[in-house]
Structure 1
Amino acid sequence: MTHFQIELIQKLFRVSKMKASLLAILLVLAGVGVKAQQQKPLYDNVFQNTDSLYKLPLKEVIQQIESRFNVKIRYAADLVKDKWVTYAFWRFRPSLDATFENVLTPLDLKVNPDGDHKYELKPFEYYRWPVKEGWATLDAIAGQYHDKQSWEARKDSIRTELYAAVGLFPMPARPDKPVMLTPERKYADYQVQNFALEILPGLYLNGSIYQPLKVKGKIAVMLSPDGHWTDQRYRKDCQIRCATLAKLGAMAISYDLFAWGESLLQFNGEDHRKSLSITVQTLGAIRLLDYVTSLKQVDTSRIGISGGSGGGSHTVLIAAMDARIKLSAPVVSVSSYFYGGCPCESGRGIHECGGGTDNVELAAMAAPNPQLLISDGHDWTQHMPEHDFPYLQRVYSYYGAENNVVNVHLPKESHDFGPSKRTALYRFVSKYFHLPIDRILNKENHIDESFVHIEPKEALYTFGDHGQYLPKDAIKGYDQLVEVYNSAMRSAQSDWNNK
């Protein structure tokens, strides 16, 4: 024992022999020294707590972690309120990562890096894995096939299970009510009209259809779902994307997520995170494909889909499930270590299909059709070029179609559907759907979106600015949706059994 440690013990006893903490002495003897004295002495709580579980409030344990490892942890007050850590001191380990895991995992909490020596406390994210774990899982999945034949068998199995997982096997009957269309609004080089499509009795899918003013022959189609961004299909960049695709020569169709947009006339926003969200959204896209393929002016060999973020997850799923999709472009979405943080992306066990799958394998199910994956440097797609994209190239090589899958990686950009991402989409659609790119180029040969007229969101409503045109038979509320869905599925099962 050093002379300094002996002096420190003597001072502790001189201050108060009755209050001197035996634990403090042990810390000194263990070599903790001055640093231990600078930390908040949580050991007092140990002697006050007679519970054999050695519980401490989470807030105090976080303070001890901050002090011991010289870090700062940011958190919302409600995340730590009324939360306790059992065997608190026993959960500490020499490494910060191991301590975080021991303390936070039992409470369904985690931390994300938030700068140098800084962290943010968050609820446990089932859908976000460590990068290397995601890569290892994809490698294990890929080990089940090695050529076109073994891959096709795997793909067929997953597709069948996906329909069952989302709750659409057998497929419920399609309502025979005609689509509701608003009058067309004409602008420079394109026109817009809104629609409402009944996909189950009383359940409507709403959106807007953008078309070129002058059409010769059959027309290509781009379904344009959007993600969980504010104002969704009413946003400026969504309108720009659809209008520019229309000027390029395609019919671009934007449509609402479940319990978003005009769907809020039938449901509450909280319903979007309930189990039927992925069912309704998948059924909506399938019914929309039923509709567009019935139109005489549509070229069914040129139907694509492109969405961003949650709309990118939707893009991957629909391209995997429905062979009528001939081109796909998921934007800032696909990753082997991110499964989608909303039930509309990762609900109903879709990733348990085939004994376990992920979004990269689901994206591979689009092969050999053209597929553009746009990634960036500031979300879960930041490592796309390193591991996930080479896997996709390998699957496409089974068909001799490696050039049909393209990754545009933008390492300095973030999670959005900004100009450079839209430019990549326009050029990809132009190439594979044989649409002249010069229709949307300016004199400097740059993509020109300046012609787009941005409409107020009220102009994009089908059911009126106050919902006054909502059909009287429309479903009202999630409970009624469950009843209608269950009834439709019972009828579908009966018809299936009688075939």
Structure 2
Amino acid sequence: MQLFIRIVLTACFSIGVFGQDAMLCMGHYWTEDEANVMMKRFKSEWDDLSSWEKRADQIKQGIIEGMQLSKMPELSGNFNAIIRDKKVMDGYSVENIAIESFPGFYITGNIYRPTDQKDKHPALLCPHGHWENGRMREDMQIRSAVFARMGAIVFAYDMVGFGESKQVDHDIPIALLLQTWNSKRVLDYLISRPDVDNTRIGITGASGGGTQSFILTAIDDRIKVSAPVVQVSAHFFGGCVCESGMPIHRSEGHQTNNVEIAALCAPRPLMLISDGADWTRNTPQIEYPYIRKVYEGYQAEHKLEHVHFPTEQHDYGYSKRTAVYNFMAHHLKLNSKTIPYDKGYKEDFVTVLPREELLLFNSKNPRPENLLQGNDAVMTYLGFNGN
């Protein structure tokens, strides 16, 4: 949490660098009272499926235009994937991977795969939040391994500036764009694999990983199931530049928040996980009822689930993971019976690996020679000219 606070403060400092602060909605942009009133105002602006879809289109365009997604290069394939060091575990395997996000910029992570011999598997994107060790922390490894043993191909990948993704700083002003684009490229890559069933693709992450989950889900219908954990809030817009450092919530013609962005998942399956010790504490009263109204318009209430842990804190701990296991198993047709169960799922078959075994690049395996290095180099390449 200390790391998260440091990044929040850094992000706030970075707003002026990008020069879009007039339209930014960052951190605790509204009070809880203000957010309650705003959600009622939002609801007054639509009253049926047709009027919601008109609003939804405006929100989606606001995200795409606000993060300047059109500046990203048109790519077809060209992942130049580097995969090394396969480790076979109990019912799953782990490999270290990098794919090219755009020429000279790499996404680093790990691929977890089931050891069964099926031709096609569902796939899961697993972004992470602002915690030390990122994709290599214990809870991230555990959930990735469990999903793999259940039958999914899982790509756990670094936030920019975390783990092995050190080509730019995490507080680069276009962090939100880079992370969304990285998620899209991970999705592109998974769908390109011959062992992936592209009709069964899910995404889940907590905190900043939850933000990455609901933003990609909002703008890319190829995500079929989404479970953002401890992040969807009416009053909190994400405290980091990677979540709200570009104007995706507000423009001259509209105002929205992360509740409505998450609702763009409808009518696809969506699970909200909330707790009593962070900005999701009001989800049972505020955020969930609003999103449920959207799902009612599609006659799809059964595809929306919400689990609230009033005595828990901001994490992706055991109780939250196991709720998502059942949700993903149902909607992605995973086999949850491959996981030991005794009054709850048993995760002790997972081998938590040391950081060194999950790293792709080292003295024996150097980084590619075409690397763009530094904030200015990446921003200039993408047409932001380092400003």
TM-score computed with the length of structure 2 as normaliser: 0.89
Give me the whole-angstrom Cα distance separating, in 2, the residues matched to 1:278 and 1:243.
Answer: 27
> Do residues 356 (structure 1) and 255 (structure 2) align?
yes
Match of 1:401 among 300, 307, 327: 300
Give me the whole-angstrom Cα distance separating, in 2, the residues matched to 1:132 and 1:389.
Answer: 16
CA distance 1:172–1:126, shift in 2 (3 Å): closer
Match of 1:260 among 143, 150, 162: 162
Give me the whole-angstrom Cα distance separating, in 1, the residues matched to 2:72 and 2:325.
Answer: 34
Give me the whole-angstrom Cα distance separating, in 2, the residues matched to 1:447 and 1:215.
Answer: 24
Larger CA Rg, structure 1 vs 2: 1
Contact 2:123-2:196 at 8 Å conserved across structures: yes
Give me the whole-angstrom Cα distance separating, in 2, the residues matched to 1:176 and 1:431.
Answer: 33
Contact 1:201-1:484 at 8 Å conserved across structures: no
CA distance 1:434–1:468, shift in 2 (3 Å): closer
> Do residues 135 (structure 1) and 22 (structure 2) align?
no
Contact 2:26-2:238 at 8 Å conserved across structures: no
CA distance 1:322–1:467, shift in 2 (3 Å): farther
> 1:213-259: per-residue Cα shift (whole Å, max 9, x none)?
01424211110001001111110111001000101111111100011
Query: Partner of 1:225 in structure 2?
Result: 127
Give me the whole-angstrom Cα distance separating, in 2, the residues matched to 1:417 and 1:233.
Answer: 12
Query: Partner of 2:216 in structure 1?
Result: 318
Give ranges in structure 2 of 5+ residues lacking alignment. Answer: 1-24
User: What is the CA distance between 1:161 and its match in structure 2?
Assistant: 2.7
Query: Partner of 1:477 in structure 2?
Result: 374
RMSD of equivalent CA atoms: 1.7
Alignment of 1:204-219 (within 5 A): 204-219=106-121
Query: Partner of 1:59 in structure 2?
Result: none
User: What is the CA distance between 1:177 and its match in structure 2?
Assistant: 4.9
User: What is the CA distance between 1:171 and its match in structure 2?
Assistant: 4.4
Aligned length: 358
Give me the whole-angstrom Cα distance separating, in 2, the residues matched to 1:161 and 1:411.
Answer: 33
User: What is the CA distance between 1:281 and its match in structure 2?
Assistant: 0.4
Contact 1:192-1:211 at 8 Å conserved across structures: yes
What's the secondary structure of 2:106's corresponding residue?
strand
User: What is the CA distance between 1:441 and its match in structure 2?
Assistant: 2.9
Contact 1:192-1:208 at 8 Å conserved across structures: yes
Query: Partner of 2:51 in structure 1?
Result: 150
Match of 1:186 among 68, 88, 104: 88
Contact 2:206-2:229 at 8 Å conserved across structures: yes
Contact 1:215-1:249 at 8 Å conserved across structures: no
Query: Partner of 1:36 in structure 2?
Result: none
Q: Once superposed, which parts of structure 1, at least 4 consecutive aligned residues long, lie more than 4 Å away?
A: none
What's the secondary structure of 2:96's corresponding residue?
strand
User: What is the CA distance between 1:173 and its match in structure 2?
Assistant: 2.2
TM-score computed with the length of structure 1 as normaliser: 0.69
User: What is the CA distance between 1:139 and its match in structure 2?
Assistant: 1.8
Give ranges in structure 1 of 5+ residues lacking alignment. Answer: 1-124, 489-499
- Compare the two structures and name the one with the higher helix fraction: 1
User: What is the CA distance between 1:314 and its match in structure 2?
Assistant: 1.0
Aligned-residue sequence identity (percent) comes to 39
CA distance 1:133–1:347, shift in 2 (3 Å): same
Give me the whole-angstrom Cα distance separating, in 2, the residues matched to 1:308 and 1:279.
Answer: 19
Contact 1:278-1:344 at 8 Å conserved across structures: yes
Give me the whole-angstrom Cα distance separating, in 1, the residues matched to 2:183 and 2:262.
Answer: 17
What's the secondary structure of 2:107's corresponding residue?
strand
User: What is the CA distance between 1:176 and its match in structure 2?
Assistant: 2.3
Give me the whole-angstrom Cα distance separating, in 1, the residues matched to 2:198 and 2:47.
Answer: 31
Give me the whole-angstrom Cα distance separating, in 1, the residues matched to 2:254 and 2:125.
Answer: 30
